[in-house]
Chains A and B, each alone.
Chain A
Amino acid sequence: MPSITVLEFEKLIDELEGNIRKTREIAGRENRDVGVEIEDLEKNRDALLREFFDALTPWDNVLLARHEKRPYTLDYLPLLFDDFLPLHGDRLFDDDGAMIGGLASLDGKPVVVIGQQKGRDLKERAQRNYGYARPEGYRKALRLMKLAERFNRPVITFVDTPGADANVPSEERGISEAIARNLREMSVLRTPIVSIIIGEGGSGGALGIAVADRVLMLQHAVYSVIAPEGCASILWRDPARKAEAAQAMQITARDARALGIIDEVLPEPLGGAHRAPEATGEVIKEAVVRHLKEVGRLSKTRLLSSRYEKFRSLGRFIDPEAPEDSATPPAENPAVVSP
């Protein structure tokens, strides 16, 4: 297990890349051929990256998911869609900067796009409330989903939030009700929904736009019931044990796939999505198109019944009265059923 975090590791890689750049510059000035040296340096860098990324801890994935350079929803939209037309407001109270949405076309087909959005700089972070969506965000998202339903357009949602906003005004305006309503309404929305967890899948705030026919997740994104710091402070009264909590809660894409929570892990370029956003965008687009095609074939009745079954079946427990043939129990514990 690496003894440094991925962010510390990235500093080493940055140094290495600085050296490569300098070597190039010097060679250019002195008119020397350094192709071989540079190739060696780059090989060396990629080997280091591969070695480190093969042994990423869950906490490293948290750091990558929260990376300040990680592509956000708005970075992916131009890579996936033509002519995104942003739409604003929940028609009830406000427009939430942490939740964006609008119309777009995916390979020429009209879709509704919804996504949580963090800010890049201080000003934008404040405007987007650091990605903590407020009740208006969830209500705007639902308004757009209902629009999609009425006009029979698929919905694509991008999940990237530390959690829903828990400040006083959000509590006053019913943040819980807004999320709960989305969970209920999305489970019966009569149009296909595909969700992609692109960064932080923070608890109910993430789930509030992720009750979908297909849930996809980028390789280094995380999805968790509570932030690791919150889990550590509640369980052990010590937020510093966050890495331990991240490990215990099984929050990586691979974990989520193994638990049957998500449908597919989308691979990221070596070193993480921020090192090659365009390539990441291509991977997301290919997967979204493929999954939409699959669920788009289902009748509305089938679509809704399989969406219900998908979430209905999530859970592992012991049922002493379960008929032998009613479930396929995991091999390691025959009494545990996933109905």
Chain B
Amino acid sequence: MPDWFRRRHAPPGVANDSQSTGVPDVPAGVFTKCEKCGRILLAKDFERDLKVCPRCDHHHKLSADERIAHVADPGSFQEMDAGLSSADPLGFPDYAAKAAKGVSVSGRPDALVTGTAGIGGYACVLGVADFRFMGGSMGSVFGEKFARAAEYALDQKIPFVVFCASGGARMQEGLLGLMQMAKTSAAVAQLAEAGVPYVSVLTDPTTGGALASFASLGDIILAEPEAYVAFAGTRVAQQAQTHKPPANYQTSEFQMEHGMVDRIVPRKELQTTLVRVLAFFGAPQQSSPLAQAAAAANGNGEMGEPAKSVGRNGKGPH
């Protein structure tokens, strides 16, 4: 290619950082770029599009707060058990430092955020994993908050909706990490036995112990497009792989093709899809957080019987 066709200068406002990433870097604030195709996007358009690239449809990871803002009715989310944090039970090398980094990056004390919410007016308990906290991994806090949230849903007889973004059991908690698979699955079993709906939404990534426990147990399992959904992560699987994997191996699409996922839902349709699912389940209506609180106080609201003892420690959302 003749040299004069090459771009010698970066476009205005775009710093050229192609050496490290192959994609031009951009200043924070005004522009952002697609992680997958490198397209430069106006930050405000990117936010408006729920962090989905308009060119390649790549669904960028969302924080728990972004996810809640997207699916929950405005102002309806009331967080539960926000103070639980990990205790480094094994004194595992670097765990404390990694957890501290997770706190500063995600602004949360651990990888799962739970609370009550309305989705299209339907009351539910919502759990959202935040990948930025140690890869959304399942430690004791994750399992405990999941179980408390499930028990609250059971108590209130309202659906439990969980967004998974998790690399699996948290190695730094050893067997306690592994046991969160049993703990979350046992909590889901309680819902199943009582006929309380449980909806699982697989987002990028859902792997290992998360997929091999609560994430695969939804009465309905939805997934975002092209999310990485796998039993064994690439580095683990390399040692085991003896068959040639297909091109879409370990994506949402692959999992749906093989019958493991009910439906792939683009992010912009997720909220409305959830509303339809909750409508099918006949979830109780939640007119507004205020009305909900009033109903609970009166002991005679649309939310069903008020909780006499809410959650494990007698505490509801706060």
- Residue in A172, A180, A256, A333 whose beta carbon sits within 8 Å of that of B258 in the complex: A172
User: Across the two chains, which residue of chain A brings its CB closest to B221?
Assistant: A177
Inter-chain pairs besides A167-B243, A179-B212, A317-B84, 18 sampled, C-beta below 8 Å: A164-B231, A166-B237, A167-B242, A168-B241, A172-B258, A180-B211, A184-B185, A187-B186, A188-B193, A204-B213, A248-B174, A307-B186, A308-B190, A315-B143, A315-B176, A315-B179, A315-B183, A321-B315
Contact assessment for A259 and B87 in the assembled complex, using a CB-CB cutoff below 8 Å: no
5 closest cross-chain pairs (CB), A and B: A315-B140, A166-B232, A183-B185, A187-B186, A168-B243
Q: Are A259 and B174 in contact (CB under 8 A)?
A: yes
B83 contact set on A, CB distance < 8 A? 319-321
Q: Note all chain A residues with C-beta closer than 8 A to B283.
A: none
Q: How many A-B residue pairs have CB under 8 A?
A: 211
Q: Determine the distance from Cα of A227 to Cα of B168 in the docked complex, in whole angstroms.
A: 14
Complex: A1 Cα to B217 Cα, angstroms: 45
A184 pairs with B217, CB closer than 8 A: yes
Asked if A26 is an interface residue, CB under 8 A from chain B, the answer is no
Rounded to whole Å, the gap between the CB of B238 and the closest CB of chain A is 9
Q: Enumerate chain B residues within 8 angstroms of A256, measured Cβ to Cβ.
A: 175
Q: Is the CB of A339 within 8 A of B186?
A: no
Whether A180 and B190, one on each chain, are in contact in the complex, defined by CB atoms closer than 8 angstroms, is: no
Most chain A Cβ neighbours within 10 Å, of B179, B208, B214: B179
CB neighbours (8 Å) of B295 from chain A are none
Residues on B with C-beta less than 8 A from A111 are none
Residue ranges of A at the interface with B (Cβ–Cβ < 8 Å): 132, 164-177, 179-181, 183-185, 187-188, 203-204, 207-208, 211, 223-226, 229-231, 233-235, 248-251, 255-256, 259, 261, 307-308, 311-312, 314-323, 326, 333, 335-336, 339
> B residues within 8 Å of A by Cβ?
81, 83-87, 89-90, 92-94, 139-141, 143-144, 147, 169-171, 173-183, 185-190, 192-193, 208-209, 211-217, 230-233, 235-237, 239-246, 249-250, 254, 258-260, 312-313, 315
User: Which B-chain residue is minimally distant from A183 (CB atoms)?
Assistant: B185
Assess the A168–B249 pair: CB atoms within 8 A: yes
Shortest CB distance A243–B (Å): 13
Closest to B175 in A: A261
Q: Are the CB atoms of B182 and A317 closer together than 8 Å?
A: no
Question: Smallest CB-CB separation from A319: which chain B residue?
Answer: B84
Q: Contact check: which of A171, A184, A231, A315 meets B188 at CB < 8 Å? A: A184
Contact A207 B249 (CB under 8 A): no
- In the docked arrangement, what's the CA distance between A180 and B260, Å? 12
Nearest-neighbour CB distance to chain A for B49, whole angstroms, equals 31
Query: Are A168 and B183 in contact, CB atoms less than 8 angstroms apart?
Result: no
Q: How far is the CA of A18 from the CA of B196 in the complex (A)?
A: 66
Residues of the A chain whose Cβ atoms lie less than 8 Å from the Cβ of B178: 203-204, 207, 224-225
